[in-house]
């Protein structure tokens, strides 16, 4: 396969737009997906987090938009508000840099519906958002689905879970049968693949092999600590390591609020990102994290899906990830765009053994550390000194 955007069939305006953001060489998933998408084929695209899946579908969509028509031509469904907003921003930036008069608007839940209806009067070419709210506005006849030529399901494995599947299917049913359907995710369990194929037309199943590597510029550290002492250890490490911007991962979304309160009680500047929060609360948490008002953002793997926050220096595994793929997704939130990062896992002795298995599978080096008199030292060296 060729390694240039031109050879993939993209128009010059989009290529020039990419150059303005220093993107000149396509990733493997883009090489696989773009030609098939431009031909109008249904696509199932799988590649690791951070490998360019969003551009893999946005570029062909934007090339195929008929800018001479003021009508909605594409739905992009996303499982979280943050991901929807992020995709919409990327569309707007790419359209501006490319000089293409393509319009987009986010349509998500827990937002003033009257304002959304006003935005829809402008007939945006692309609607990005949650399937529930989009379906609601289709039923209110505020969105015309018959003009939609392409539907994208981003983080498709999430959109096929019990809480989303019905509304996703209903949105798809409102469009014409000859529309294009594209699904993307970092993981596609076999059951999801079968569900997807049942609603698609001979989809091209495209996987980007060899991209599931953990970024090289991440240092992987772990501290063995009793479960009850993890928050106290986090407090000490945050102080002594001077942590300014860290994502703190726990396993259960329902525990995010309680964990955030505990961290703040212990003198840490923390906020939580949980599904029960209103949109303005979630936005404030992200804005405060980006601006440095808080140094710790607590999230579950579900809450953090699709987040792309620049400048995250540390990822902290307060709860141990359930498998190596989840570990990989978590730590990939730092060390982005050529920056270095640090992944710290606070583990029990049993969890330390599991982490060593991750080390072998992911082909990374994980170092055990100890905190001695305010200094982080190599645990092996400390043991030798004794």
Share of the chain above pLDDT 70, in %: 93
pLDDT digits (tens, 9 = 90+) for 32-86: 999 999 999 999 999 876 778 999 999 999 999 999 999 999 999 998 887 888 8
Q: 0.85 exceeded by the pTM?
A: no
Check whether 156 has a pLDDT greater than 60. yes
User: What local confidence, expressed as pLDDT, does residue 1 receive?
Assistant: 44
User: What local confidence, expressed as pLDDT, does residue 206 receive?
Assistant: 92
pLDDT digits (tens, 9 = 90+) for 98-107: 999 999 999 9
Check whether 126 has a pLDDT greater than 80. yes
pLDDT, greater one: 130 or 309: 130
Q: State the SS3 of the chain.
A: CCCCCHHHCCCHHHHHHHHCCCCCCCCHHHHHHHHHHHCCCCEEEECCCCCCHHHHHHHHHHHHCCCCCCCCCEEEECCCHHHHHHHHHHHHHHHHHHCCCCCEEEECCCCCHHHHHHHHCCCCCEEEECHHHHHHHHHCCCCCHHHCCEEEEECHHHHCCCCCHHHHHHHHHCCCCCCEEEEEECCCCHHHHHHHHHCCCCCEEEECCCCCCCCCCEEEEEEECCHHHHHHHHHHHHHHCCCCCEEEECCCHHHHHHHHHHHHHCCCCEEEECCCCCHHHHHHHHHHHHHCCCCEEEECCCCCCCCCCCCCCEEEECCCCCCHHHHHHHHCCCCCCCCCEEEEEEECHHHHHHHHHHHHHHCCCEEEEEEECCEEEEHHHHHHHC
């Amino acid at each position: 396969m060729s390694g240039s955007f031109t050879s993939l069939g993209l128009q010059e305006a989009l290529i020039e737009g990419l150059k303005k953001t220093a993107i000149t060489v396509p990733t493997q998933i883009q090489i696989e997906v773009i030609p098939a998408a431009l031909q109008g084929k249904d696509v199932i695209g799988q590649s690791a987090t951070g490998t360019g899946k969003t551009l893999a579908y946005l570029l062909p969509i934007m090339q195929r938009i008929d800018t001479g028509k003021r009508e909605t031509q594409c739905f992009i469904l996303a499982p979280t508000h943050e991901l929807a907003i992020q995709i919409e921003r990327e569309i707007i930036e790419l359209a501006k840099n490319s000089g293409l008069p393509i319009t987009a608007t986010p349509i998500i839940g827990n937002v003033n519906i009257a304002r959304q209806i006003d935005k829809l009067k402008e007939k945006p070419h692309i609607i990005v958002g949650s399937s529930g709210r989009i379906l609601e506005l289709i039923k209110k006849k505020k969105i015309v689905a018959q003009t939609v030529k392409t539907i994208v399901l981003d983080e498709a494995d999430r959109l096929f879970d019990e809480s989303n599947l019905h509304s996703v299917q209903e949105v798809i049913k409102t469009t014409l049968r000859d529309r294009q359907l594209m699904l993307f995710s970092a993981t596609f369990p076999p059951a999801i693949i079968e569900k997807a194929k049942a609603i698609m037309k001979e989809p091209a199943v495209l996987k980007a092999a060899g991209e599931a590597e953990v970024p090289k510029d991440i240092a992987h550290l772990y501290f063995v600590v009793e479960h009850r002492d993890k928050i106290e250890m986090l407090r000490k490490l945050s102080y002594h390591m001077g942590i300014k911007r860290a994502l703190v991962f726990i396993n259960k979304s329902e525990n995010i609020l309680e964990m955030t309160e505990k961290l703040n009680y212990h003198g840490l500047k923390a906020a939580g990102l949980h599904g029960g929060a209103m949109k303005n609360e979630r936005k404030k948490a992200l804005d405060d994290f980006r601006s440095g008002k808080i140094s710790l953002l607590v999230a579950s793997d579900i809450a953090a899906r699709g987040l792309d926050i620049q400048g995250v220096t540390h990822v902290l595994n307060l709860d141990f990830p359930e498998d190596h793929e989840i570990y990989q997704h978590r730590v990939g939130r730092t060390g982005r765009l050529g920056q270095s990062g640090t992944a710290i896992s606070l583990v029990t002795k049993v969890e330390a053994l599991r982490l060593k298995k991750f080390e072998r599978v992911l082909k990374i080096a994980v170092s055990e550390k100890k905190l001695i008199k305010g200094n982080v030292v190599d645990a092996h060296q400390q043991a030798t000194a004794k």
